[in-house]
C-alpha cells in the first residue's frame, strides 16, 4: 500500500476540456460479444484497467485469440469463436471485477469443459446466489467451492433449458451475463422483481444488437434473445460516463467549467444522467449531441433517487457537502454490497471532514454547514470512494487519499487526469 496521496486545492476554478478513457461497462460487454461472434472484430476506445484486464485474460485463457495494437491507443482485435468456446478446463481469475465475475459464469456454461471462476477476496464476498440458481434452472452444473452463494464456482455446461427467471433488484450484472451468453443457444429470461440500474440493461441490449443478436423485450420485465453474434467489423467504445462524473462534479463544486467530449445525448451509458442531477442542484449544464459541459454555480440540496445510476452515490455525497441545504439520496440500499459498503463508507468519510451525514435504510442524508475541513480519507479498497473524495482536496487544504492505487480498477491514470483541471 502506498503512502497517502496529498491533493492540493485548485488555485482557481477550472476552465478545461477533460479527456477520459473508454467505458469499462461497454468494454467488457463488447469483449464478450466479440469473443462469441462469427468473424473478427476491431474494438476501438478500449479501456485498459484492472477490470478489463481481468476480462481480457479470462477470454484468452478460454482460448479466444485477442491481439493489442501496439501503435494505436485503445485498439484491440478479437477473433470470435462463433459461439463455440474451445473446450478448455481452466481456472479464471476475475480479480475485483464485478462485471467479469458475473458475466463469465453464463459464458463458460456454453462449454462442456468444467471451468472454475474465482476472484479477489473482495469479489468473493459479493453475492452470487441468484445467478447460481438461474444457471441451475437451465441445466448447468454449478459447484460452490467455498462459501455457499459466492465465488469460487466450478461450472460445467452446456445448458439444456432455455427459460430463466431471475430477480432484478439485486444486480443488473446477473441479468446482463445471462442475456449475453443466452443469445447463442437462445433464451427467454423473465424478471421476478423490477430491475435496478436499468440503463445498464439498455446498454447490454444495444451492444448485443450491434453484434447482430435478436432481442425482444416485454415491458422491461422479460427478454427473448437469440440468433448468436456476427462481427460488425469495427466497434467504437465511447468514453466512460462514470469516470467523467468526477470532473463535471469538480466543475459544479468549484464554480468552474468542464467539458467532456465523446459523451452526449446518444450515449449508451445511464450515468450521463448525473449531469441532470447537477443541474437540479443549480449547475448550468449543456448536454449536446457529442459533449457534456458543466458550469458551476451556487448549489442547493435536493432529494434524489439514484437506483438507476447508483455508482454516482459517492460522487454526489461529496457534491452535497458543498451545497446550501441538505441532500437526501435514496433508492440505493443495494450498494452496501458493491466493492465496499457505499452507504457506510461515504457517510463515515463525510463525517471525517466535518460534514454531518447519516445513513438511512436505502441511502443517506448529507447536512452541510459550510465547514468542510481537510482529512486523510480511507478508501476501503474502492476506486469510486477514492475518486469521489479526492474532489474534497480540490476545495480545502489538508486532504490526502489512502490507498490511491485502488483507482487502477477502472481508471489507472485518474490522478494524472485530475491535473487537467489545473
pLDDT digits (tens, 9 = 90+) for 213-232: 999 999 879 999 999 999 99
The answer on 86 and 9 residing in a single domain is no
Strand order in the sheet with 163-166: 163-166, 187-191, 222-226, 214-217
For residues 290 and 244, is the Cβ–Cβ distance under 8 A? no
The answer on 154 and 85 residing in a single domain is yes
The answer on 17 and 84 residing in a single domain is no
> CA separation (Å) from 359 to 219, 309, 330, 366?
33, 18, 10, 9
The answer on 16 and 36 residing in a single domain is no
The answer on 395 and 305 residing in a single domain is yes
The neighbouring-strand residues paired with 330 are: 305
Going by C-alpha positions, the residue among 330, 374, 369 that lies closest to residue 352 is 374
The answer on 391 and 415 residing in a single domain is yes
**Residue 158, domain CATH:** 3.65.10.10
Q: Which letter, b or e, does each residue of 90-118 get, where b requires 16 or more Cβ atoms within 10 Å of its Cβ?
A: bebbbbbbbbbbbbbbbbbbbbebbbbbb
The answer on 276 and 201 residing in a single domain is no
Among residues 205, 233, 261, which one ends one of the domains? 233
Tell me: cis bond preceding 152? Omega within 30 of 0 counts.
yes
Cα 31 to Cα 33: distance, rounded to the nearest angstrom: 6
The answer on 107 and 36 residing in a single domain is yes
40-44 and 234-236 beta bridge pairing: parallel
The answer on 198 and 86 residing in a single domain is yes
* End-to-end C-alpha distance for the chain, whole angstroms: 27
Work out how many domains the chain is built from and give that number.
2
Q: What is the mean pLDDT of residues 82-92?
A: 93
399-401 and 376-377 beta bridge pairing: parallel
- In tens, the pLDDT along 254-281 reads 999 999 999 999 999 999 999 999 999 9
What was the pLDDT predicted at 1? 52
Q: What is the mean pLDDT of residues 99-113?
A: 96
Q: Is the C-alpha dihedral spanning 319, 275, 409, 89 positive or negative? A: positive
- Percent of the chain at pLDDT > 70 equals 100
For residues 395 and 254, is the Cβ–Cβ distance under 8 A? yes
Helix (H) and strand (E) counts for the chain?
13, 23
* Active site annotation includes 311: yes
Question: What does pTM read for this prediction?
Answer: 0.94
> CA separation (Å) from 301 to 49, 210, 247, 277, 360?
34, 40, 19, 11, 17
Residue 48 Cα to chain centre, angstroms: 14
- What residues make up the domain containing 403? 5-21+238-421
Cα 235 to Cα 196: distance, rounded to the nearest angstrom: 27
- In tens, the pLDDT along 318-363 reads 999 999 999 999 999 999 999 999 999 999 999 999 999 999 999 9
> CA separation (Å) from 39 to 61, 102, 159?
19, 25, 24
Cα 351 to Cα 203: distance, rounded to the nearest angstrom: 36
What was the pLDDT predicted at 57? 97
The answer on 258 and 191 residing in a single domain is no
Which of the four pLDDT bands, split at 50, 70 and 90, describes residue 133?
A: very high
Among residues 176, 205, 233, which one ends one of the domains? 233
Residue 95 reports pLDDT greater than 60: yes
Q: Which are the contacts of 69, defined by CB distance < 8 A and separation ≥ 6? A: 75, 76, 77
**Residue of 93, 311, 382, 403 marked active site:** 311
Cα 135 to Cα 137: distance, rounded to the nearest angstrom: 5
The answer on 294 and 392 residing in a single domain is yes
Quick count: other Cβ atoms within 10 Å of Cβ 67?
12
Place of cell 437462445: 186
Among residues 198, 233, 268, which one ends one of the domains? 233
Cα 290 to Cα 139: distance, rounded to the nearest angstrom: 44
The answer on 156 and 51 residing in a single domain is yes
Residue 13 Cα to chain centre, angstroms: 29
What was the pLDDT predicted at 72? 79
Quick count: other Cβ atoms within 10 Å of Cβ 330?
16
Amino acid at each position: 500500500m502506498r503512502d497517502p496521496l496529498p491533493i492540493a486545492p485548485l488555485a482557481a476554478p477550472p476552465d478545461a476540456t477533460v479527456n477520459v478513457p473508454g467505458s469499462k461497462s461497454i468494454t467488457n460487454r463488447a469483449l464478450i460479444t466479440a469473443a462469441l461472434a462469427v468473424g473478427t472484430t476491431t474494438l476501438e476506445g478500449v479501456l485498459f484497467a484492472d477490470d478489463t484486464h481481468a476480462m481480457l485474460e479470462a477470454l484468452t485463457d478460454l482460448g479466444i485469440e485477442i491481439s493489442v495494437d501496439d501503435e494505436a491507443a485503445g485498439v484491440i482485435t478479437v477473433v470470435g469463436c462463433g459461439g463455440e468456446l474451445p473446450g478448455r478446463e481452466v481456472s479464471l481469475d476475475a480479480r475485483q471485477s464485478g462485471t467479469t465475475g458475473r458475466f463469465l459464469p453464463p459464458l463458460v456454461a456454453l462449454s462442456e469443459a468444467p471451468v472454475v471462476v474465482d476472484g479477489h477476496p473482495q469479489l468473493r464476498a459479493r453475492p452470487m446466489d441468484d445467478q447460481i440458481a438461474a444457471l441451475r434452472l437451465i441445466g448447468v452444473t454449478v459447484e460452490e467451492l467455498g462459501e455457499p452463494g459466492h465465488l469460487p464456482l466450478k461450472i460445467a455446461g452446456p445448458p439444456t433449458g432455455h427459460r430463466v427467471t431471475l430477480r432484478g433488484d439485486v444486480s443488473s450484472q446477473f441479468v446482463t451475463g445471462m442475456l449475453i451468453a443466452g443469445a447463442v443457444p437462445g433464451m427467454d429470461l423473465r424478471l421476478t422483481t423490477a430491475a435496478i440500474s436499468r440503463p445498464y440493461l439498455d446498454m447490454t441490449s444495444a451492444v448485443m444488437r450491434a453484434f447482430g443478436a435478436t432481442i425482444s423485450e416485454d415491458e422491461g420485465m422479460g427478454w427473448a434473445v437469440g440468433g448468436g453474434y456476427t462481427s460488425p467489423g469495427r466497434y467504437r467504445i465511447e468514453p466512460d460516463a462514470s469516470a467523467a462524473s468526477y470532473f463535471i462534479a469538480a466543475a459544479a463544486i468549484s464554480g468552474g467549467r468542464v467539458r467532456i467530449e465523446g459523451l452526449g445525448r446518444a450515449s449508451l451509458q445511464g450515468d450521463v444522467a448525473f449531469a441532470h442531477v447537477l443541474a437540479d442542484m443549480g449547475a448550468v449544464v449543456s448536454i449536446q449531441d457529442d459533449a457534456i459541459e458543466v458550469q458551476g454555480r451556487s448549489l442547493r440540496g435536493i432529494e434524489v433517487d439514484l437506483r438507476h445510476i447508483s455508482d454516482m452515490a459517492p460522487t454526489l455525497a461529496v457534491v452535497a457537502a458543498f451545497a446550501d441545504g441538505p441532500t437526501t439520496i435514496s433508492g440505493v440500499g443495494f450498494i452496501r454490497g458493491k466493492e465496499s459498503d457505499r452507504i457506510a463508507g461515504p457517510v463515515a468519510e463525510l463525517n471525517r471532514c466535518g460534514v454531518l451525514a447519516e445513513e438511512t435504510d436505502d441511502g443517506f442524508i448529507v447536512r452541510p454547514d459550510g465547514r468542510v475541513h481537510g482529512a486523510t480519507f480511507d478508501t476501503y479498497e474502492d476506486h469510486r470512494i477514492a475518486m469521489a473524495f479526492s474532489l474534497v482536496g480540490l476545495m480545502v487544504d489538508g486532504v490526502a487519499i489512502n490507498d490511491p492505487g485502488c483507482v487502477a480498477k477502472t481508471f489507472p491514470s485518474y490522478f494524472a487526469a485530475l491535473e487537467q483541471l489545473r
